[in-house]
Structure 1
């Protein structure tokens, strides 16, 4: 009996250690990307920064792309949580504006994370049965805005998301002035209201 308890504790500790290593790898990769950009996030650089051998990193993620994909999925979870909080705080009439503001705020405050989620070519499936739950959760927050629209709900959610993504990217690259962001959000909500009527 004692051996079973001991081996169970050892297995739990190994699992905790593995999860802690995984979280550390992702955290360091995000820090490097925020400071220097994604090209600086290499397996060799991560290995040097956290003092794990490259084979340890490969054992966790398989490749550099595996690391970036894991960060992207983490980002979708964080985005989903931000959108859900905004949605739950807002009244029905202001929900779309609250979600739009939260989305654009997320993109602005975490530019490197947003970039890995949407701009880098990764092997993370969108709109597919294999789409990670974190990504489905984030999209579900947008779908909540259009839940009464029947068969149009998904398409309207995609249009709303596309518009927000366009605004986020054009603002990030200084094609659109940040000073008019609120006006653009209000105009987008007005357009969506016309489409829904």
Structure 2
């Protein structure tokens, strides 16, 4: 049994090495630089070994995205938990979201912009994706009430994604970042329907 355990542990370590290497290349050079050949060379395994773990690049991107959602939910939860009250938590959530997108652009792209087999808003949505949504939903609900909460959470998420994407593309005035976020949070609170 020890040999089987060792093989399983080595396989899990190789699997994670592929994910970490892809993520590292993507963060430093962009996703176009991530190829199965380059990954195989970088991790010093053959392409067939790489394909024994992942069907191709899209599957690797999906694995990076899935781990990104775990980190994303943890980041948002920590930011929200550090806030003194529900109104402050809403601002902390928005700032945490945008900070995550800024500090991890390749992971954020894998999570939200690239082709993966991850499903959203369905029964088979992976737990990590649901957890991130729930952190946003619960924070928004605590600050603004529960009426139409799922839909309002989707709108909040879409708005933050738009801000993150436009900011990354240098389409917004950087000196207005704080004011934009303040106005957005004030709008969420003022426009909240009664529960």
TM-score using structure 1 length: 0.92
The 5-angstrom pairing of residues 80-119 of structure 1 reads 80-90=73-83, 91-119=85-113
Aligned to 1:191: 187
Aligned to 1:57: 50
| Structure 1 residue ranges (4+ consecutive) displaced by more than 4 angstroms after TM superposition | none
1: distance between equivalents of 2:187 and 2:31? 36
Tell me which residue corresponds to 2:118: 124
Shift of 1:67: 0.6
Query: Counterpart in 2 of 1:3?
Result: none
Q: SS in structure 2 opposite 1:120?
A: coil
Structure 2 gap ranges (5+) = none
Q: Does 1:157 align with 2:153?
A: yes
* Contact map agreement 2:65 2:107 (CA 8 A) in 1: yes
Larger Rg: 1
Q: Does the Cα contact within 8 Å between 2:26 and 2:34 map onto a contact in 1? A: yes
Listed one character per residue, the Cα deviations across residues 108-135 of structure 1 (whole Å, up to 9, x for unaligned) are: 0111111111111222111111111111
| Residue 60 of structure 2 is aligned to residue 75 of structure 1 | no
Is the Cα–Cα contact under 8 Å of residues 91 and 182 in structure 2 kept in the other structure? yes
Please identify which structure carries the higher helix content: 1
Q: Any unmatched runs of 5+ in structure 1?
A: 1-6
Give the total of aligned pairs. Answer: 190
TM-score (norm 2): 0.93
Q: CA-atom RMSD, angstroms?
A: 1.3
